[in-house]
Amino acid sequence: MYEGVVQDLIDELGRLPGVGPKSAQRIAFHILQADPADVRRLTHVLAEVKDKVRFCTVCGNVAQAERCRVCQDPRRDPAVICVVEEPKDVVAIERTREFRGRYHILGGAISPIEGVGPDDLRIRELLARLADGTVTELILATDPNLEGEATATYLARMVKPMGLKVTRLASGLPVGGDLEYADEVTLGRAFEGRRLLDV
Protein backbone atom coordinates (compact mmCIF):
# COMPACT_ATOMS: atom_id res chain seq x y z
CA MET A 1 0.00 0.00 0.00
CA TYR A 2 1.18 3.48 -0.84
CA GLU A 3 0.27 6.60 1.00
CA GLY A 4 -2.80 8.70 0.30
CA VAL A 5 -3.21 10.07 -3.19
CA VAL A 6 -0.72 7.72 -4.86
CA GLN A 7 -2.75 4.72 -3.75
CA ASP A 8 -5.95 6.52 -4.82
CA LEU A 9 -4.50 6.97 -8.28
CA ILE A 10 -3.47 3.31 -8.47
CA ASP A 11 -6.95 2.24 -7.36
CA GLU A 12 -8.66 4.47 -9.93
CA LEU A 13 -6.41 3.27 -12.76
CA GLY A 14 -6.96 -0.33 -11.66
CA ARG A 15 -10.68 0.08 -12.28
CA LEU A 16 -10.10 0.70 -15.99
CA PRO A 17 -10.72 -2.22 -18.33
CA GLY A 18 -7.65 -4.31 -19.11
CA VAL A 19 -5.56 -2.70 -16.37
CA GLY A 20 -4.48 -5.00 -13.54
CA PRO A 21 -2.94 -3.92 -10.22
CA LYS A 22 0.63 -4.22 -11.54
CA SER A 23 -0.07 -2.14 -14.65
CA ALA A 24 -1.97 0.41 -12.56
CA GLN A 25 1.07 0.83 -10.37
CA ARG A 26 3.35 1.21 -13.38
CA ILE A 27 1.10 3.85 -14.99
CA ALA A 28 0.77 5.71 -11.68
CA PHE A 29 4.53 6.00 -11.29
CA HIS A 30 4.91 6.96 -14.91
CA ILE A 31 2.49 9.84 -14.30
CA LEU A 32 4.37 10.86 -11.14
CA GLN A 33 7.62 11.12 -13.05
CA ALA A 34 6.19 12.66 -16.20
CA ASP A 35 6.53 16.26 -17.29
CA PRO A 36 3.84 18.42 -15.61
CA ALA A 37 2.77 19.76 -19.02
CA ASP A 38 2.08 16.22 -20.27
CA VAL A 39 0.00 15.44 -17.22
CA ARG A 40 -1.94 18.70 -17.61
CA ARG A 41 -2.73 17.79 -21.20
CA LEU A 42 -3.99 14.39 -20.08
CA THR A 43 -6.24 15.84 -17.36
CA HIS A 44 -7.52 18.39 -19.86
CA VAL A 45 -8.62 15.79 -22.43
CA LEU A 46 -10.05 13.61 -19.70
CA ALA A 47 -12.25 16.48 -18.56
CA GLU A 48 -13.08 17.47 -22.12
CA VAL A 49 -14.08 14.02 -23.26
CA LYS A 50 -16.86 13.92 -20.72
CA ASP A 51 -18.04 17.48 -21.45
CA LYS A 52 -17.77 17.71 -25.20
CA VAL A 53 -18.34 14.26 -26.59
CA ARG A 54 -21.93 13.37 -27.13
CA PHE A 55 -23.69 10.46 -28.67
CA CYS A 56 -25.24 10.79 -32.09
CA THR A 57 -29.00 11.06 -31.74
CA VAL A 58 -29.50 8.87 -34.81
CA CYS A 59 -27.03 6.01 -34.61
CA GLY A 60 -25.60 6.26 -31.09
CA ASN A 61 -21.99 6.64 -32.19
CA VAL A 62 -19.68 9.09 -30.43
CA ALA A 63 -20.07 12.53 -31.96
CA GLN A 64 -19.00 16.14 -31.51
CA ALA A 65 -22.35 17.50 -32.62
CA GLU A 66 -25.92 16.33 -32.46
CA ARG A 67 -25.30 13.92 -35.28
CA CYS A 68 -22.10 12.01 -36.00
CA ARG A 69 -20.01 12.44 -39.13
CA VAL A 70 -21.43 9.41 -40.91
CA CYS A 71 -25.03 10.40 -40.23
CA GLN A 72 -24.32 13.95 -41.47
CA ASP A 73 -22.67 12.78 -44.65
CA PRO A 74 -25.20 12.95 -47.55
CA ARG A 75 -23.07 10.62 -49.67
CA ARG A 76 -23.64 7.71 -47.29
CA ASP A 77 -26.38 5.36 -48.45
CA PRO A 78 -29.38 5.70 -46.12
CA ALA A 79 -30.92 2.45 -47.40
CA VAL A 80 -28.34 0.21 -45.71
CA ILE A 81 -27.74 0.05 -41.97
CA CYS A 82 -24.94 -1.90 -40.35
CA VAL A 83 -25.66 -2.87 -36.74
CA VAL A 84 -22.67 -3.11 -34.39
CA GLU A 85 -22.15 -3.51 -30.66
CA GLU A 86 -19.70 -0.68 -29.89
CA PRO A 87 -18.40 2.56 -31.44
CA LYS A 88 -14.99 0.89 -31.84
CA ASP A 89 -16.58 -1.58 -34.25
CA VAL A 90 -17.51 1.36 -36.49
CA VAL A 91 -13.86 2.41 -36.59
CA ALA A 92 -12.87 -1.12 -37.59
CA ILE A 93 -15.42 -1.28 -40.40
CA GLU A 94 -14.60 2.25 -41.61
CA ARG A 95 -10.98 1.19 -42.03
CA THR A 96 -12.07 -1.33 -44.68
CA ARG A 97 -13.53 1.51 -46.81
CA GLU A 98 -15.90 -1.12 -48.19
CA PHE A 99 -19.07 -0.01 -46.51
CA ARG A 100 -20.91 3.08 -47.74
CA GLY A 101 -24.09 2.81 -45.68
CA ARG A 102 -24.95 4.05 -42.21
CA TYR A 103 -24.46 2.52 -38.78
CA HIS A 104 -26.43 1.70 -35.70
CA ILE A 105 -24.65 1.16 -32.40
CA LEU A 106 -26.45 -1.08 -29.92
CA GLY A 107 -24.21 -0.39 -26.95
CA GLY A 108 -23.49 -4.04 -26.19
CA ALA A 109 -24.98 -7.49 -26.65
CA ILE A 110 -27.70 -9.44 -24.91
CA SER A 111 -26.19 -11.21 -21.93
CA PRO A 112 -28.36 -12.14 -18.93
CA ILE A 113 -25.24 -12.98 -16.90
CA GLU A 114 -24.16 -9.35 -17.14
CA GLY A 115 -27.74 -8.19 -16.70
CA VAL A 116 -28.06 -6.89 -20.26
CA GLY A 117 -31.46 -7.45 -21.85
CA PRO A 118 -32.97 -6.02 -25.05
CA ASP A 119 -34.27 -3.00 -23.15
CA ASP A 120 -30.73 -2.02 -22.23
CA LEU A 121 -29.66 -1.88 -25.87
CA ARG A 122 -30.63 0.71 -28.47
CA ILE A 123 -33.06 -1.63 -30.17
CA ARG A 124 -36.13 0.59 -29.90
CA GLU A 125 -34.17 3.36 -31.65
CA LEU A 126 -33.24 0.93 -34.40
CA LEU A 127 -36.85 -0.11 -34.96
CA ALA A 128 -37.83 3.57 -35.14
CA ARG A 129 -35.24 4.11 -37.87
CA LEU A 130 -36.62 1.21 -39.87
CA ALA A 131 -40.23 2.37 -39.60
CA ASP A 132 -40.37 4.82 -42.55
CA GLY A 133 -39.27 2.28 -45.19
CA THR A 134 -36.09 4.03 -46.40
CA VAL A 135 -33.94 1.19 -45.15
CA THR A 136 -33.92 -1.88 -47.39
CA GLU A 137 -31.01 -3.84 -45.94
CA LEU A 138 -29.90 -4.50 -42.40
CA ILE A 139 -26.39 -5.91 -41.91
CA LEU A 140 -25.92 -7.58 -38.55
CA ALA A 141 -22.28 -7.13 -37.56
CA THR A 142 -22.37 -8.06 -33.86
CA ASP A 143 -19.38 -9.98 -32.49
CA PRO A 144 -19.03 -13.59 -33.66
CA ASN A 145 -19.31 -14.94 -30.11
CA LEU A 146 -22.25 -16.50 -28.35
CA GLU A 147 -23.77 -13.24 -27.08
CA GLY A 148 -23.24 -11.52 -30.42
CA GLU A 149 -24.89 -14.40 -32.27
CA ALA A 150 -27.80 -14.39 -29.82
CA THR A 151 -28.27 -10.64 -30.33
CA ALA A 152 -28.17 -11.06 -34.10
CA THR A 153 -30.75 -13.85 -33.95
CA TYR A 154 -32.96 -11.73 -31.72
CA LEU A 155 -32.80 -8.74 -34.09
CA ALA A 156 -33.43 -10.91 -37.14
CA ARG A 157 -36.58 -12.26 -35.48
CA MET A 158 -37.73 -8.76 -34.51
CA VAL A 159 -37.44 -7.24 -37.97
CA LYS A 160 -38.63 -10.26 -39.91
CA PRO A 161 -42.21 -8.97 -40.25
CA MET A 162 -40.88 -5.75 -41.86
CA GLY A 163 -39.79 -7.74 -44.88
CA LEU A 164 -36.40 -6.15 -45.42
CA LYS A 165 -33.20 -7.88 -46.39
CA VAL A 166 -31.32 -9.04 -43.29
CA THR A 167 -27.73 -10.25 -43.64
CA ARG A 168 -25.08 -11.45 -41.21
CA LEU A 169 -21.36 -10.91 -41.73
CA ALA A 170 -19.66 -14.08 -42.96
CA SER A 171 -17.26 -15.88 -40.68
CA GLY A 172 -14.32 -17.64 -42.21
CA LEU A 173 -10.62 -17.76 -42.78
CA PRO A 174 -8.25 -14.89 -42.15
CA VAL A 175 -6.78 -13.54 -45.37
CA GLY A 176 -3.07 -14.10 -45.88
CA GLY A 177 -2.96 -16.93 -43.33
CA ASP A 178 -2.30 -20.62 -43.66
CA LEU A 179 -5.21 -23.00 -43.72
CA GLU A 180 -3.48 -25.37 -41.31
CA TYR A 181 -3.35 -22.75 -38.57
CA ALA A 182 -7.08 -22.05 -38.60
CA ASP A 183 -8.95 -23.43 -35.61
CA GLU A 184 -11.60 -26.10 -36.23
CA VAL A 185 -14.58 -23.86 -35.49
CA THR A 186 -13.49 -21.17 -37.93
CA LEU A 187 -12.61 -23.72 -40.56
CA GLY A 188 -15.95 -25.46 -40.02
CA ARG A 189 -17.78 -22.15 -40.48
CA ALA A 190 -15.77 -21.43 -43.59
CA PHE A 191 -16.97 -24.73 -45.02
CA GLU A 192 -20.57 -23.92 -44.19
CA GLY A 193 -20.26 -20.51 -45.81
CA ARG A 194 -18.35 -21.62 -48.94
CA ARG A 195 -19.44 -20.07 -52.21
CA LEU A 196 -19.43 -20.85 -55.87
CA LEU A 197 -16.29 -19.80 -57.68
CA ASP A 198 -17.26 -18.04 -60.90
CA VAL A 199 -14.76 -18.56 -63.69
Residues that bind another protein (CB under 8 A): 110-113, 117-119, 146-147, 149-150, 153-154, 157, 183-185, 188
Three-class SS of residue 96?
A: helix
Residue 77 to residue 136: CA distance in whole angstroms: 11
Residue 188 to residue 171: CA distance in whole angstroms: 10
Closer CB to another protein, 136 or 186, in the complex: 186
Asked if 136 contacts 159 with a C-beta cutoff of 8 angstroms, the reply is no
Distance of CA 116 to the CA centre of its chain: 16
Closer CB to another protein, 31 or 116, in the complex: 116
Q: Min. distance of Cβ 140 from another protein in angstroms?
A: 13
Q: Min. distance of Cβ 85 from another protein in angstroms?
A: 16
Pairing relationship of beta strands 101-105 and 77-84 according to DSSP bridges = parallel
Closer CB to another protein, 183 or 198, in the complex: 183
Q: Min. distance of Cβ 177 from another protein in angstroms?
A: 15
Residue 78 to residue 124: CA distance in whole angstroms: 18
Q: Min. distance of Cβ 182 from another protein in angstroms?
A: 12
Closer CB to another protein, 51 or 184, in the complex: 184
Residue 170 to residue 140: CA distance in whole angstroms: 10
Closer CB to another protein, 29 or 154, in the complex: 154
Q: Min. distance of Cβ 108 from another protein in angstroms?
A: 13
